[in-house]
């Protein structure tokens, strides 16, 4: 399914994702960090289109598309899968969809505790409903 042209620009945001990211962006230096299927040439531009549609005011020129997430520096990385260098990422991995972080509210509650909100970089990878 990853090979369907235009797919990534048409996905709906996950419930609570838009509000959660806007809340986190008020306290954190937030970037979108994503991977795109190598053989789907439109996926890269589709993801930029999607981010521009929902977050242009927050993420204008703050998006990184890579297959090596471990090469990016940050304090936290929110992602649903442990692929593409996640296990080597030097900051904390918040595994979205896990028992600890099943939804965006749990992620926000965790990251907005007073001990965690200082000038930190946050990378968010999982904002859309899969297929």
| pLDDT single digits (tens) 51-64 | 999 988 788 888 89
Question: Quick check: 77 and 33 in contact, CB under 8 A?
Answer: yes
Question: Quick check: 96 and 107 in contact, CB under 8 A?
Answer: yes
- Give Cα 64 to chain centroid, integer Å: 10
Which CATH code for domain 7-124? 3.40.50.1000
Per domain, the residue ranges of the chain are 7-124
When pLDDT is cut at 50, 70 and 90, the band that residue 15 belongs to is: very high
When pLDDT is cut at 50, 70 and 90, the band that residue 9 belongs to is: confident
Q: Is the pLDDT of residue 10 over 70?
A: yes
How far apart CA 50 and CA 91 sit, in angstroms, is 26
What pTM, to 2 d.p., does this model score?
0.81
When pLDDT is cut at 50, 70 and 90, the band that residue 125 belongs to is: low
End-to-end CA distance of the chain: 8
């Amino acid at each position: 399914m990853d090979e369907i042209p235009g797919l990534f620009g048409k996905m709906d945001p996950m419930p609570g994702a838009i509000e959660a990211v806007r809340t986190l962006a008020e306290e954190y230096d937030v970037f979108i960090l994503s991977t795109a299927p190598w053989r789907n040439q439109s996926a890269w531009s589709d993801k930029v289109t999607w981010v521009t549609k929902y977050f242009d005011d927050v993420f204008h020129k703050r998006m990184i598309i890579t297959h090596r997430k471990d090469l990016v520096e940050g304090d936290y990385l929110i992602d649903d899968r442990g692929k593409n260098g996640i296990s080597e990422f030097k900051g904390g991995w918040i595994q979205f969809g896990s028992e600890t972080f099943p939804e965006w509210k749990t992620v926000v509650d965790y990251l907005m505790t007073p001990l965690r909100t200082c000038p930190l970089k946050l990378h968010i990878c999982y904002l859309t409903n899969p297929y």
